[in-house]
């Protein structure tokens, strides 16, 4: 099976292109950004002092919206731009503008592919060598995405975007949730992976 996800590379590359457009030239090398230094003044009295509240990070004016879509178990042949029966007029519009990506390499499993897509890394380097229900206690397979592997959503948040995840979320470490020893950064109040709305 060459691929099972429809237009994933198209959406991801468009999102990353929009992100690079929005964030250059002020892109940071260190995320999250360090706390800003205090710019106020502390005097002997309140009258002699000047407050300095830290400002929140906001996306620059005109920053584009980023929408990343992943459809599970759907090959390129299912959508209309590639000759399939499912009518996808917006995908057709993009494809007719000569923007077609078709070299996305899938892991042939949903959880690992999703982990690779949201982190931009090899699935085993983000502990997702198999689906989360089959996680093992070995490197590359324990289903706990390390903190060193930030997701697209986390990077966007550091730049002032509001992010959320809707729909299927099969990247929750089920063994950690059941044993209550360690919680995945994806886990929110013990909701099941199939109904989880995630803010990442």
- CA distance linking residue 107 with residue 124, whole number of Å: 10
- CA distance linking residue 144 with residue 147, whole number of Å: 9
Residues of the chain with pLDDT under 50: 1-14, 21, 25, 181-200
- CA distance linking residue 99 with residue 93, whole number of Å: 9
Q: What is the pLDDT of residue 18?
A: 52
pLDDT digits (tens, 9 = 90+) for 112-153: 988 988 898 999 999 999 988 888 889 999 988 888 888 888
Q: What is the pLDDT of residue 44?
A: 95
Per-domain boundaries in the chain: 1-32+64-106, 108-200
- CA distance linking residue 132 with residue 142, whole number of Å: 8
Q: What is the CA radius of gyration of the chain?
A: 21
- CA distance linking residue 70 with residue 48, whole number of Å: 56
Q: What is the pLDDT of residue 178?
A: 61
List helix spans (H) across 35-187: 89-96, 110-119, 152-158, 174-179
Q: Does the pTM of the predicted model rise above 0.85?
A: no
Q: What is the pLDDT of residue 193?
A: 43
- CA distance linking residue 196 with residue 152, whole number of Å: 18
Q: What is the pLDDT of residue 42?
A: 95
- DSSP, collapsed to helix, strand or coil, labels residue 50 as strand
Q: What is the pLDDT of residue 89?
A: 94
**Residues 194/166, Cβ–Cβ less than 8 Å:** no
């Amino acid at each position: 099976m060459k691929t099972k996800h429809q237009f994933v590379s198209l959406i991801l590359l468009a999102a990353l292109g929009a992100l690079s457009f929005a964030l250059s030239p002020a892109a940071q090398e260190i995320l999250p950004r360090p706390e800003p230094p205090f710019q106020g003044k502390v005097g002997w009295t309140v009258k002699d002092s000047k407050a300095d509240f830290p400002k929140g990070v906001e996306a620059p004016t005109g920053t584009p919206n980023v929408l990343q879509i992943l459809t599970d178990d759907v090959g390129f042949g299912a959508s209309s731009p590639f000759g399939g029966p499912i009518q996808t007029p917006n995908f057709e519009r993009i494809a007719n503008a000569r923007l077609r990506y078709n070299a996305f390499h899938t892991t042939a499993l949903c959880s690992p592919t999703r982990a690779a897509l949201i982190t931009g890394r090899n699935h085993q380097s983000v502990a997702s060598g198999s689906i989360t229900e089959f996680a093992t206690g070995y490197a590359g397979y324990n289903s706990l995405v390390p903190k060193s592997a930030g997701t697209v959503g986390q990077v966007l948040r550091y730049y002032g975007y509001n992010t959320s995840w809707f729909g299927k979320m099969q990247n929750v470490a089920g063994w950690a949730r059941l044993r209550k020893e360690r919680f995945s950064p994806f886990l929110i109040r013990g909701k099941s992976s199939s109904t989880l709305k995630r803010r990442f």
